[in-house]
Structure 1
Amino acid sequence: MQPYCSSPVIQSSPFSSSSHFPGDGSKQPQTTKWSPPSDEELQGRPVLVAGAGNIGRRIALVWASHSRPVIIYDISSDALHSATEYITDNLAAYCTTRGTHPGHVRTTSDLRTATSSASGLAEANAKAPWLAIECLPESLPLKTSVLALLERSLPTDCLLASNSSSLTTAEMAAQGDLNHPERLLNTHYFIPPRNRMVELMSSGATARSAFPFLATQMRRVGLAPVIVPHNIQSRGFVFNRIWAACKRETLAVLAEGVAKPGDVDALFRDFFHAEKGPCERMDEIGLDTVARVEQHNLERVPGLRSEAALAWLKLHYVAEGKLGEKSGDGLFTEAERAELRERHHEERYKDVEETSDA
């Protein structure tokens, strides 16, 4: 049984501007077979989350909520500081609501520290990660380059997962920087820990045994995986294909002046009995992320006609720094969102901050 602590342990490794990435350029010999590690081999091995942003820190919280060690890596000291505050404020309270115990969480800006064994934890027998989850902005070159660095730095049994909402790992593998697509897959989280669903999709070459193995590990920490069939590549996976159409038409309605965000969301909530409408959801995700995903879709999906709505979003919101929750104002002002949160407080799907009264 893994040791646990009664409150979250946050350790931060010193910032090192000269050692963010390994510089030896070495590559592992290519392999064609991946086998899942046993429960004994997983003991004490952390989950690595690359990207300390709004979603990365939430993914880290879920994996740490069942006595599991977690490492959060980011080159931004500000992002790491914010992630540390989030974990400190919410992990212990979240574990209390679920009857679990928090694991060790630490942050680092040094990739060598994040990927090597015995890399700074108090325990002398600290081990290298068994799962690395990339949670970076929606940029194919950025995601591919970081995943390639992780591939070279981590053990050969470590799975490499991308949390991309629009880019497939088949696209990433096709860039030529990754040598082990059998270890690579999409794991698309939504907004954990409130949303437990995670979509899993193959890179086209992912080891079939990776899916039941990872699904089992996810269920053990309270997640609910949905697996896209191994031979299918779906841009946007499952839910985001449906959500993309809703989001695109919502932006068009707003850009054309047909309705205001509050009216759109009120109609959506009333008809679907939904907790939140599409405008509040986009503020939650971040309007810069929404714009990047829509730009990506425009470039890769024939027949879309959303240029005008995207230009409106970029001009009136992204360019002015109105990004939603991450900046304050967005489609809703910060004050309007506070009123909406108050109304949601007693509804079924509470966020971790609401649950813990943080």
Structure 2
Amino acid sequence: MDFGLSPEQEAIVEGVAAICRRFGDDYWRACDDEARFPRDFHRAMAEAGFLGITMPEAFGGAGLGVTEAALMMHTVARHGGGMAAASSIHINMFGPHPIVVHGTPEQQARWIPPLVAGTDQACFGVTEPNAGLDTTSITTFATRVPGGYRVNGRKMWTSTGQVANKILLLARTTKKEEARRPTEGITLFYTELDRSKVDVKRIPKMGRAAVDSNMTFIDDLFVPEEDRIGEEGRGFSYILDSLNPERILLAAEAVAIGQDALDRAARYGRDRVVFGRPIGQNQAIQHPLAECWTALESAWLMVMKAAWLYDNGKPCGAEANAAKLLGGRAGHNACLQAVLTHGGMGYAKEYVVERLLREVLICRIAPVSEQLVLSFIAERVLGQPKSY
């Protein structure tokens, strides 16, 4: 069992880290304060070719696996940018996967190169206000018309909808009650985000202000037939291709944010002197930070195991979900402990850890709840009856 990185993987980590070091705490603080998309960072990653790390080489990508994507996203989130940095680019890692797997050669040639170059930005239109995690209950509907479809409906938590020009859109083409199974009759599209037909309203939120989240109202949007991915009615199965990579990458980001916060807390513990001694000399400071380190390292091992399984074509649902659960919790606990270690200054923006705490909380909520993760593992691994 080899826990080391290959020369190619080390080069990815070093190359991404070099870019990230160009964007310091002041940059990310300004993006957060101004709710400004980190365009300069996004452009730098695109120009270095990293947006295509998992895309086929035939279309300008690197053709690498989820392991390399996880290493890349871990590095991105490790250098102070937190979820703002990660969320600005990570849809490129998992979102277009249905295009790679199920798109026609014409679609791949048309869609993938602009994503790799960063000239196209995509948003993810899946979640709905009255469906939540129950994707089979979406009601956004695509009606057949000559040459394509007319789509009407609503989406929720559409990230990067303010800056995107494309949308990966999931819609029903058969009503749920008329389908043979709840998972049937759902169709996947990748199409232009026509703002004359799509109203994208920003949601004010607790953290990650730099990367917008939105309520999306779709009113009579025409989608050409050539923008449908795969067969009509099979979109639910296609979207599943993205779910395990998404969980793995989010877990890698959560671990990285926790490690960044832990580094800041450890540094503060060495430097902050109270009652004539560094606060890090006190076990009340040492022990919680040491526990955070062990939890983060353990979660990272699960991330790497899940990524290895995925890249080697082996089942990884339980591991990907476990990585998301462990990574989210470990990252959140480390950020919380970092704030507490800083005391009153942990509440100050100057020391960054308050922003990391606000942003890492996303990793415990999205893209799937901890309760559904535990239900999945109980059912699929431990053989328990389905509870929902």
Shorter-chain TM range is: under 0.3
Higher helix share: 2
What is the TM-score with the length of structure 1 in the denominator? 0.28
